[in-house]
Amino acid sequence: LTAACGLSIMATGALADPAGCDSGETVVKFSHVTNSDKHPKGIAAALFAERVNAEMDGKMCVEVYPNTTLYDDDALLEAMLQGDVQMGAPSLSKFETFTKVYQIYDLPFMFKNIAAVDEFQNSEQGQEMKSAMERRGISGLEYWHNGMKQMSANRPLIQPEDAKGLKFRVQPSDVIIAQFEALGASAQPMAFSEVYGALQTGVVDGQENTWANIYGQKFHEVQDGITETNHGVLDYLVVASTDWLDGLDADVREQMLTILNEVTVERNGAVNEVDDEARQAILDAGSEIRELDEQQRQAWVDAMKPVWEQFAEGVGQDNIDAAQAINE
């Protein structure tokens, strides 16, 4: 079975071959949905590939497929379990059918900034959570940061009431759906690659995402400005199939995981810079960014935070308490 799998991976690798992999190297297809430059995930995936391909030459070869050129996030995990793709880094909102533990990241106003997210992830609880999907065959390897989410629509959003009656594109997360319902809005789950078109044609009125994702997909071009709500986080889990990982030679696996860890530390440390650049690029493109005063922001907190109650049991009150303690 292993030999047959290896052959089929090599054969497909030889067809696509964007990294120029040599025969005999274990080809690792890394599939993701964002742009590759000026983006925290795009930069990290490219750096990971560059380092593996230089330092593990002859042993392993990473091919990165950005921009949904291979799979959208819905298809990715199934393809990974089938052995058609080896690695990816979906946002933590994309794993709900596999586990509920990552719902903590979708709860509005749970983390005050990415430094707090980082601290939570590096705690014992956060590290333990990485293996939540192993019984389903998916191993969590590293957390990668993107940033805080902002909100936009086809009309200015200043007060929570401004969102009433609008339809927002969401990632497939019950928590995020509940968040928009709490605003009197409706939510439509949709693949990332379809959002620009849906905003442009009015299939949905608004969306929430990070500066890098808004800029990378040009959402600001088809929205009436962006409101700087910082109301939630969008962060990633780098994943691989547990079977595939277990099937690697131990020294190859260790070297690959060490490189992945070093890339994670380096790129997570630089995430605020990438985020700020994306925010500035949106301003430079002539779009309006609306900042909220303290009273306005509190109104959004009051409107959205009650959804915690619906999910506290699944997420675990101890996890919520640990996250909150970090914010203080």
3-state helix, strand, coil in the chain (%, to 5): 55, 20, 30
Q: What are the C-alpha distances in Å from 96 to residues 112, 171, 174, 236? A: 23, 10, 8, 13
Nearest residue to ligand LMR, scored by beta-carbon proximity: 91
Residue with tokens 């306005």: 296
Nearer to ligand LMR, 65 or 192 (CB): 192
Q: How far is the CB of 84 from ligand LMR (least distance, A)?
A: 19
Q: How far is the CB of 79 from ligand LMR (least distance, A)?
A: 16
Q: How many residues does the chain have?
A: 328
Q: How far is the CB of 87 from ligand LMR (least distance, A)?
A: 14
Nearer to ligand LMR, 48 or 192 (CB): 192
- Chain positions contacting ligand LMR, by CB under 6 A: 33-34, 91, 146, 171, 192, 209, 213, 234
Nearer to ligand LMR, 236 or 311 (CB): 236
User: Got the DSSP string for 89-108?
Assistant: --BGGG-TTT-SGGGGGTST
Report the C-alpha gap between 273 and 275 in whole angstroms: 5
Nearer to ligand LMR, 6 or 172 (CB): 172
Q: How far is the CB of 148 from ligand LMR (least distance, A)?
A: 13
Q: How far is the CB of 138 from ligand LMR (least distance, A)?
A: 16
What is the longest distance spanned by two Cα atoms in the chain? 63
Nearer to ligand LMR, 192 or 300 (CB): 192
Report the C-alpha gap between 290 and 264 in whole angstroms: 32
Report the C-alpha gap between 189 and 147 in whole angstroms: 20
Distance of CA 245 to the CA centre of its chain: 21
- What is the sign, positive or negative, of the torsion defined by CA atoms of 141, 146, 149, 155? negative
Q: How far is the CB of 163 from ligand LMR (least distance, A)?
A: 18
Nearer to ligand LMR, 26 or 209 (CB): 209
Q: How far is the CB of 170 from ligand LMR (least distance, A)?
A: 8
Decide: 144 and 208 in contact? Cβ < 8 Å: no
Nearer to ligand LMR, 41 or 51 (CB): 41
Show the tokens assigned to 39.
């983006």
Coil/strand/helix, residue 88 = strand
